Chain A
């Protein structure tokens, strides 16, 4: 533990603990939730909108379902949305940036102008447009956000490649007759991917915030699956008199996003120190 704390600082370690807790809740939701069937969406109309009590620690929603169980099940959606958005974006952005940076010329110009078009959109608006066209659903909303997200990674990857391309070891490999594809994958990709992965860790928070915004607008996963953004929206009708319906999922989004961004900051600072030491 102390080695970890030295690496990430105490704030970073605490954030890692928060993330691991949410991940465990998501993985073992059916065993950890006090009312698993309500967590999955079965209504319980005899206990509508009950305030927090010994039976329902965080109260119940407009269909009488236990808010705690729904928050635990909702962790599945938010966790996977945050991680998948970043993963999909890397999958598009990294190759685009690598190719543009390595080959340069017209390929670079063309790819970067396409990137500019995507960057010209206010991100949430493009995601809303796409999600509306694709229809609601978890995968659709994840794809919609990833489409607005990848250009940042493409730009970053390109900038990294431009630096690495001129390094002596790459030139040496090229002189030795190593094929271009092999240079790109074996010698440039590992160096370029590292800062991108740090940035990706930093982006999981904003990504899950955007995903929850979409589901707040009704463009995320379909009910009755529990989703934090959707739950805040459902509670809005009863807010602020019955604040607990919206409060718990809202705080959950906030906590998880906060944990990811502070942890990402800690990682980036560490990476920054390393680079400075190397320079």
Chain B
């Protein structure tokens, strides 16, 4: 019963947050800019064109009315038309959103795969050089500017070692000469559906560097949280009992201790996903990744506010939904989490 009430409350709060976010985006994108009509009318508009744009954009209506119209349009997936390209924004999003989600999800996976084992080992061998290297790494990853780290990775792995591609999502021989049919927009999945192993491997090679850039910081956090949780759990009686029974160290660590540390892992998924969505703006520019981050940064340069608003809203929605799912999962997985 408690669980149902908690779920309802969280869903309601999330809905409220989404409306609030929409309002904030509306204010920033439609009220703050000096003259949307002049932007819409194109370069060097005449007074007449601006007046016409004011009518098209409905700028003379009262603010509450404009907000309701904005919110209904956004709610029904009608994001309007880009000022710059005059293309439907919803069509652009359908292509760019999967690209960004693929990157964000892959980097989250990478952060967990690096951070959790590192945290387990650090906790098992406290004070060893592995432990110290790990905590040094997590401190450094906090202070490293994302965009600079991306460039360093390009320098080492693509320029010096030449083992990974510099940028892009697929090699040109695939994307131009033999393109992949669009099914989900996730290259790894679409490649697998088409049964082309070479494409999957190529997509994977292109994913590694940008995903690694985005995974560094959350991996550091994952390591710290897992280490702290494991240190506490390893001192508990059931672990001592398992030791006394003569179970192997690996089995104790991964079979008996780690499942109790699953809470921090979930926290990290949320944090890492959020970090990846945000960092996408920087990383996608550097790695020429055709996703939402690059889309929005180009829109910023041309002051294309409908695109900026739609992208911000969609990304924030992904973020809110992810947080909701994680909070609810946490209460299901770990009954000790207080329902508040």
Contact = CB atoms under 8 A, between A and B. Distances in A.
A239 B21 contact: no
B301 interface: yes
A206 to B, nearest CB: 8
Nearest to A11: B139
Nearest to B311: A125
For the complex of A and B, the 9 pairs showing the least CB-CB separation, nearest first, are A117-B20, A258-B143, A250-B148, A122-B278, A257-B143, A133-B32, A124-B278, A132-B300, A120-B17
B145 A212 contact: yes
Contacts of A116: 13, 16-17, 20
Residue from B145, B154, B296, B315 having most chain A Cβ neighbours under 10 A: B145
Nearest to A241: B159
Nearest to B13: A116
Interface string A204-237: 0110010011001111000000000100110010
A79 interface: no
A10 to B, nearest CB: 15
Contacts of B279: 124
A209 B300 contact: no
A246 B142 contact: no
A78 B297 CA distance: 22
Contacts of A250: 145, 148, 151
Contacts of A175: none
A189 interface: no
B146 A261 contact: no
Interface in A6-20: none
A128 interface: yes
Interface stretch (B22-30, B52-60, B75-83, B261-269): B22-30
Q: Report whether over half of chain B's contact residues are helix, strand or loop; otherwise say mixed.
A: helix
A123 B20 contact: no
Contact of B296 (A117, A128, A216, A239): A128
B281 interface: yes
A155 to B, nearest CB: 14
Given A125-B277, A129-B28, A239 B312 contact: no
B21 A121 contact: yes
Contact of A120 (B33, B277, B282, B319): B319
Contact of A253 (B142, B148, B151): B148
Residue from B33, B278, B301 having most chain A Cβ neighbours under 10 A: B278
Contact of A258 (B13, B28, B139, B274): B139
20 contacts: A113-B13, A113-B20, A116-B20, A126-B312, A128-B281, A128-B297, A129-B29, A132-B303, A132-B308, A133-B28, A133-B33, A205-B143, A213-B147, A229-B145, A232-B148, A239-B151, A240-B155, A250-B151, A253-B145, A257-B142
Looking at chain A, what size class is its interface with the partner chain? 35 or more
A192 B199 CA distance: 57
Contact of B277 (A118, A122, A239, A254): A122
Interface in B117-150: 139-140, 142-148
Given A213-B145, A213-B146, A239-B155, 13 more contacts: A121-B21, A121-B312, A121-B319, A122-B319, A128-B296, A129-B28, A129-B308, A132-B303, A133-B305, A206-B142, A209-B146, A233-B147, A257-B142
A260 to B, nearest CB: 8
A253 B17 CA distance: 34
Interface residues of B, number: 48
A121 B311 CA distance: 12
Contact of B316 (A122, A128, A236, A253): A122
A86 interface: no
A117 B21 contact: yes
B320 interface: yes
Interface of B: 13, 16-18, 20-21, 23-25, 28-29, 32-33, 139-140, 142-148, 151, 154-155, 159, 274, 277-279, 281-282, 285-286, 296-297, 300-301, 303, 305, 308-309, 312, 315-316, 319-320, 323
B319 A129 contact: no
A120 B305 CA distance: 20
Contact of A125 (B18, B139, B146, B315): B315
A46 interface: no
B315 A117 contact: no
Nearest to A114: B20
A244 to B, nearest CB: 12
B279 to A, nearest CB: 7
Contact of B278 (A118, A120, A123): A123
Contacts of A243: 155
A134 interface: yes
Given A124-B281, A125-B277, A133-B29, A254 B151 contact: no
A232 B151 contact: yes
Contacts of B159: 240
A130 B308 CA distance: 10
A223 B225 CA distance: 41
